[in-house]
Chain A
């Protein structure tokens, strides 16, 4: 069966500090991978998605970036955090080529920028 991991679970960072959130998927190959941010009252906002190693699409302009160094690893980064980067960050995966694009989510990372 497939499993998706995210770490850390919670993170408190000062403004201007760097960020690295990691997501890994087990039990599947060549998944589509996604990063979302969920802020209170604003729903899920798609940040990045990837269909393969080194292939990243960005949905919104921001000071965040994403990388996919390995097939089942997806990393969300920032060089300098802003207060507005606080939120609940979710990684998700889906089966490549599936028409439904049903996505499966990880447990999330709660980021607080102070």
Chain B
């Protein structure tokens, strides 16, 4: 069983839709959870990170962690064509050499 599973998509939505991106993980020892956005032919950029269960909001983005289910989500409200990218979830055990474990990414396309 892979440590982090993520549906590769592609996911296509109309502009203005609410987008839900999800990952599951297998190890309950994982402590930190991150979402990265990667535009085509660019390096991933950090969107959000969270430690505890619950929700964390940043503008149109909400990261949600459910440690009991080992499930993490990223919600995008009022999606825009500029949100079209691949979204990668990541997690680690914590510590200075945590070595992030990444999902394979979900490719999102927001159609105008």
A residues with a Cβ closer than 8 A to B are 6, 32, 41-44, 46, 49, 51, 88, 90, 92, 96-108, 110
Closest 7 A-B residue pairs measured CB to CB?
A: A101-B98, A105-B43, A43-B104, A44-B102, A97-B96, A108-B43, A100-B32
Complex CA gap A99/B46 in Å reads: 16
CB-CB contacts below 8 Å: B46-64 with A: 46, 49, 51
Task: Tally chain B residues at the interface, Cβ within 8 Å.
Answer: 26
At the interface with chain A, which of B65-73, B76-84, B87-95?
Answer: B87-95
Which residues of B approach A to under 8 Å, CB–CB? 8, 31-32, 34, 36, 41-46, 49, 51, 88, 92, 94-100, 102-105
Q: A105-B43, A106-B43, A108-B43 are in contact. Are A99 and B105 (CB under 8 A)?
A: no
Number of A-B contacts (CB under 8 A): 65
7 contacts between A and B (CB under 8 A): A90-B44, A97-B96, A100-B94, A100-B98, A101-B95, A105-B43, A107-B43
> Which secondary structure dominates chain B's binding surface?
loop
State whether A105 touches B105 (Cβ < 8 A).
no
A92 to B31, CA, bound (A): 20
If A101-B94, A108-B42 touch, whether A42 touches B104 (CB-CB below 8 Å) is: yes
- Nearest CB in chain A to that of B43: its residue: A105
A57 vs chain B, min Cβ distance (A): 8
